[in-house]
Chains A and B, each alone.
Chain A
Amino acid sequence: MIGVILVKVAFVAVLISTGAYYFSFRKNSIESLSIARYAYHFTAALIMLFSALLMYFILTHQFQYSYVWNYSSSDLPTPLLISTFYAGQEGSFSLWALYTAITGIVLMQYASKKGYESTVMFVWSLVLTFLLLMLIVKNPFTYIWDTFPNDLIHTGIIPPGVTNFVWLDQAKGIWAQFPAEGKGLNPLLQNYWMVIHPQILFIGFTSMAVPYTFALAGLLRKDYQSWVKVAKPWTVFGSAVLGTGIILGGYWAYETLGWGGYWGWDPVENSSLIPWLVSVASIHTMMAQRRSGTFVRTNFVLSILCFIMVLYSTFLTRSGVLGDTSVHSFVDPGMWAYWLLLGVMTLFGMYGFGLLLFRMKEMPKVPVEHSIYSREFALFLGAFTICFAAVFITIGTSSPIITNILKGKAAAVDTSFYVKTTLPLGIVIALLAGIGQLLWWRTSNMKDLMKNLTYPTISSVVFTIGLIIFGVRDSVIVLFSFASSFALFVNLMVGYRVFKGNPKYAGGAIAHIGIALLFLGFVSSAKYDDKQTVTLQQGKPVEILHGYTLTYLGNHALDEERYGFNVKVQYANEVYNVMPVMRYSSFTNGMMRHPDILNMYTKDFYVTPLSVESPDDTKGKSYAFNKGETKDIDGMKVTFVDFDFNDEEKGKMVTEGDVTIGVIFNVKHDDIEETVTPQFKRTSSGPNYVSAKLANNAVEFSIVKLQPNREDKSQSKVEISIANHGNTDDTPKVESLVVEASIKPYINLVWMGTITLVVGFVLTIIRRVQEAKEKD
């Protein structure tokens, strides 16, 4: 109850803060500014308080709260228990609100120093209003009996033995029961990545709102130039954090989830990539505007879009609109959340773009003073191309919505859509990432440009020819590799020169080196990966993928649910051991498969377990029969005649003594007709299945599942397994493990590229923060 109240009070407080900030900006009133500050700090304190409260409820296992019950359990280790805070929608919105509230306090100080406080904080409070509204609708403090009233709320006397209960209305005798144990955390999320990855993503999402607030502040104040300088370090920061979050998610998928790759073009992945691309584009055009005052409108549009795309992503992944078209199961959050998310996105979009249109007329036209051979133009083209990639990815991710509107049936695009559309754009981006670094502001000296181009061009041509000799034939891939290596060599050269002068200024070149490495890594690891599915009989070496000899050694239990499978890998006279893990999860009622990876300098050898076939359960194939049904199986006509329980045992059935049930089958084969009766026995020591063989001793029948129907005997069903030992060629006598093995060449380029990119970002942030500190 207290939690619900805190959320509601916080909502009222943030409304006051929003209003007061707006008033202080309109009327330039000092009093309302101070009210606004108090209200904002009060809001932030309340958000921290209810977040702490939620954390307390989780840590103390208060399963009377739906949220706590839904995502945690008392057996989780503390770090994972903490991470259940954001395992569900309500909690992740709380985390987002918490980060937004805290960021706002820093932003308030910063904006106040720059003279932007009232406008920036007005928009920021508006963002926080949306998040709190979301939390009112999807409140993490809902009691479990309000979620399941039919099952948990009772009237009357509390039966003895019930300890977990509360009185809702003692006078009327209404009370509610609540569970003693929580559902627990989805085992897929029980991983150290769960502790760090979502947090980074949400910090990224939070920072994406900063360019939006500064752009709106600029529009409100009719300041079309200087906001860019103030907003820039935040944009770079947001971009760096979101980018790190995205790639960490990819690493998580690759290393533990066993998706086989680091990127699957899944809506969840795409929806964080889209705002990231927009923010990267805006970093480039902001840089140009800082230098030459151009691209005024472009920067407004992109900065507004950064946040709108975050909202759109949230809408896509959290409203249930994508429904059945993705591997991720999107829990339908209900119509309220759907319309709220859609409405909020429309409102923030309309406010931003509406204001921009309104101000457009009076914006001073900045005369274009740069030539085509200028850095400005290259930056613009680069940003434009990146945005196009974002547009294509948005269209692809939204395809279920688009096709639903156009054809009435939702259908997703195949992942090849993304590769097809972004690959050509990638070539342009890589070329520009090279050339752009060699161009000067305003216009370039052709002679110098040509001179600078010489070495990188020669190097990348040699590199590409090498790739062609090595076997790269696909022309688009050749072009892509050429462009990426060109970007790499140019930036190595430029980076070296800048670094010698002043290392602080090398951030741009380093970030572009990172991008070039990433691009090359994408090609090698995704385009030239090689995979094979193989069945490994225990103890028998099998050679696969040109030179890898795998031997399945055996398995052992790691704990109650997880089994490790030891596989010896021999490659180039070296012996390695890998141990992929399979886990039968009682939580999801399914099998989870964890890969094991052999990391080598030039490649990864990736082993995913698919299935294990022990001699016991390769007895035969399963068939389900209705009573009286006849099936053709391996040249036999098999009929399920009836159950066989003699009268005496029928009586025992009820009294829970030993029971034997036989299932009578009539089998016709090779002109013979015979009857087999496999049996099910229930004894005091547990159930026991007794199989039965045909007279020729070759075919064995055993019961898998019995479904007798006492009311209507014709509805009885049975599932049996039939094994033909006369034809044992394909039935292994020993256990076999089926694995998918793949080679990911030069995947380390992807990780190296990422780290380099982040280093570049960090250097740039340091430089931009220092720049923003300087007085104009």
Chain B
Amino acid sequence: MKIKIIIASIVIVIALVFGAISFVETNVEYTDFRSAITSHKKVQVKGKLVIEKESYFDYTKAQFVFYLKDDKGQEEKVIFDGAKPNNFELAEAVVVKGRYQDGYFHATDILTKCPSKYEADANTVKKSL
């Protein structure tokens, strides 16, 4: 019986350690462009779209290109594999997930954060009176 418990504990410990390592490895950290450039790890960066700079869909590569300014004010070119996300211009903030390479941030995911629903709803309700 004791051997069983020991074996079971070892299995559980191995599984937990494996889980913890995977967790740390795959955790996509929230950070800024400065540390994204140095770490080369997959990270996510929150920022604002730089409307003064170009943003376009490169249809030859099917990539969406734009400039993002992070919370610390650093501006970087972002290339996203895919089309322009919904609500892109309306977003209060844009979160890009990916890694920095070859002089630009290569995003595999984009989340757009929209203005508070309450405010948006209050405006809609006024319009629909």
Say yes or no: is B104 at the interface (Cβ < 8 Å to chain A): no
Say yes or no: is A409 at the interface (Cβ < 8 Å to chain B): yes
Contacts of A736 in B (CB 8 A): 59
Chain A 175-192 interface 0/1 with B at a Cβ cutoff of 8 Å (1 = within): 001111111000000000
B55 in contact with A535 (CB, 8 Å): no
- List B44-61 residues whose CB lies under 8 Å from chain A: 44, 51-57, 59-61
Contacts of A391 in B (CB 8 A): 19
Contact of B19 among A331, A395, A590, A623 (CB under 8 A): A395
- List A315-369 residues whose CB lies under 8 Å from chain B: 324, 327, 329, 331-332
Say yes or no: is B124 at the interface (Cβ < 8 Å to chain A): yes
Whole-angstrom distance between the alpha carbons of A631 and B57 in the complex? 20
B55 to chain A: closest residue by CB: A622
Whole-angstrom distance between the alpha carbons of A410 and B86 in the complex? 24
Contact of A624 among B52, B60, B90, B129 (CB under 8 A): B52
Say yes or no: is A740 at the interface (Cβ < 8 Å to chain B): yes
A416 in contact with B52 (CB, 8 Å): no
B52 in contact with A626 (CB, 8 Å): yes
Interface centre among B60, B81, B95 (most CB of A within 10 A): B60
Contacts of A589 in B (CB 8 A): 86-87, 90
* Interface locus among A144-152, A214-222, A286-294: A144-152
Say yes or no: is B37 at the interface (Cβ < 8 Å to chain A): no
Also in contact, A611 and B27, with CB within 8 A (given A324-B111, A392-B19, A624-B52): no
Contacts of A610 in B (CB 8 A): 62, 82-83
B59 in contact with A613 (CB, 8 Å): yes
B83 in contact with A177 (CB, 8 Å): no
How many residues on A have C-beta within 8 angstroms of the other chain's C-beta atoms? Answer: 65
B54 in contact with A622 (CB, 8 Å): yes
Main secondary structure of the interface of A (DSSP, over half): mixed
B87 in contact with A588 (CB, 8 Å): yes
Q: How far is the CB of B81 from chain A (nearest CB, A)?
A: 8
Contacts of B95 in A (CB 8 A): 324
Whole-angstrom distance between the alpha carbons of A592 and B86 in the complex? 8
B129 in contact with A421 (CB, 8 Å): no
B23 in contact with A396 (CB, 8 Å): yes
Whole-angstrom distance between the alpha carbons of A70 and B124 in the complex? 10
How many residues on B have C-beta within 8 angstroms of the other chain's C-beta atoms? Answer: 45
Say yes or no: is A420 at the interface (Cβ < 8 Å to chain B): yes
Say yes or no: is B72 at the interface (Cβ < 8 Å to chain A): no
A626 to chain B: closest residue by CB: B52
Whole-angstrom distance between the alpha carbons of A590 and B114 in the complex? 12
Contact of B129 among A179, A324, A592, A625 (CB under 8 A): A179
Say yes or no: is B38 at the interface (Cβ < 8 Å to chain A): no
Contacts of B62 in A (CB 8 A): 533-535, 610-611, 738, 740
Also in contact, A417 and B22, with CB within 8 A (given A535-B62, A590-B87, A738-B59): yes
Whole-angstrom distance between the alpha carbons of A182 and B125 in the complex? 9
Q: How far is the CB of A3 from chain B (nearest CB, A)?
A: 20
Contacts of B52 in A (CB 8 A): 623-626, 629
B108 to chain A: closest residue by CB: A414
Say yes or no: is B102 at the interface (Cβ < 8 Å to chain A): no
Say yes or no: is A621 at the interface (Cβ < 8 Å to chain B): yes
Whole-angstrom distance between the alpha carbons of A610 and B58 in the complex? 12
Whole-angstrom distance between the alpha carbons of A388 and B17 in the complex? 13
Contacts of B42 in A (CB 8 A): 414
Contacts of A740 in B (CB 8 A): 62, 82
Contacts of B25 in A (CB 8 A): 417
Say yes or no: is A411 at the interface (Cβ < 8 Å to chain B): yes
Chain A 381-395 interface 0/1 with B at a Cβ cutoff of 8 Å (1 = within): 000000010011001
Chain A 607-635 interface 0/1 with B at a Cβ cutoff of 8 Å (1 = within): 00011010000100111111001000000
Q: How far is the CB of B93 from chain A (nearest CB, A)?
A: 9
- 10 A-B pairs with CB atoms under 8 Å apart are A151-B122, A164-B129, A180-B129, A332-B117, A399-B23, A411-B28, A414-B27, A535-B60, A589-B86, A622-B54
Q: Which residues of A contact B (CB under 8 A)?
A: 69-70, 144, 147-148, 150-152, 162, 164, 177-183, 324, 327, 329, 331-332, 388, 391-392, 395-396, 399, 403, 409-414, 416-417, 420-421, 424, 533-535, 588-593, 610-611, 613, 618, 621-626, 629, 730, 732, 736, 738, 740
Nearest first, the 7 closest Cβ-Cβ pairs linking A and B are A590-B86, A533-B62, A417-B26, A610-B83, A179-B128, A414-B26, A611-B83
Known: A183-B128, A535-B60, A611-B84. 17 other contacts (CB 8 A): A164-B129, A183-B124, A327-B111, A331-B117, A392-B19, A399-B23, A412-B27, A413-B23, A414-B26, A535-B59, A590-B86, A591-B83, A592-B86, A623-B52, A730-B60, A738-B57, A738-B62
